[in-house]
Chain A
Amino acid sequence: GQQVMQIPQYQHVQEGEDFTTYCNSSTTLSNIQWYKQRPGGHPVFLIQLVKSGEVKKQKRLTFQFGEAKKNSSLHITATQTTDVGTYFCAGSNSGYALNFGKGTSLLVTP
């Protein structure tokens, strides 16, 4: 079945450094979503990408969807301590459920 792989599993950065997490699917996706889960909290939707090569920005966050619609990335510029949490990608291939990656846990030290 469809699998979504996410790397790295953990990332520790100094405040102000950039951060990137990558997501790869074994099959072509119809769309990909990104979620953020703060420590002790629940996942919260960030964004959805649908088009091949799509790039979307939310302040310091940049999301990309690959040309082949099999990979995606989330880049955070100049991390802040409020960025701490686990970032999940979740892909769908027009089915009825999302397949979540295992997530990247980001730790930001001041």
Chain B
Amino acid sequence: DGGITQSPKYLFRKEGQNVTLSCEQNLNHDAMYWYRQDPGQGLRLIYYSQIVNDFQKGDIAEGYSVSREKKESFPLTVTSAQKNPTAFYLCASSNRGQGEYEQFFGPGTRLTVL
């Protein structure tokens, strides 16, 4: 059964701690993305990767870091430098890295920093 998995669904952390969100896909897609969703703000791009071992900053990359060591995996680390980390985080993938390809989204991780 192909798709994108994100874990955990809900995550709570204390302020000042780094936290890593998992994203795995078995769709054999080259490109992967991380978005942040806040109420009334739509989806804002944090980072994206078109191919293994390569990634680019999106519109709101400050305070976040990523890695792409395997085609299937694109973990996102929310660092203590992110000033307002509480949000809903969505991972997505597409066949290629160009904007002409449909994006498939994971179920999301809701992060709450206390």
Contacts and interface: CB of A to CB of B under 8 A. Distances in A.
A30 to B, nearest CB: 7
B21 to A, nearest CB: 14
B99 A102 contact: no
Interface in A23-66: 30-31, 33, 35, 41-45, 48, 50
- Report, as a range, how many residues of chain B touch the other chain: 20 to 34
B26 to A, nearest CB: 17
Contacts, number: 67
- Report, as a range, how many residues of chain A touch the other chain: 20 to 34
A50 B48 CA distance: 23
A88 B40 CA distance: 11
A95 B99 contact: yes
Interface of A: 1, 6, 9, 30-31, 33, 35, 41-45, 48, 50, 88, 90-103
A43 B102 contact: no
B68 to A, nearest CB: 14
Contacts of A6: 42
A96 B90 contact: no
A102 B105 contact: no
Contacts of B99: 30-31, 90-98
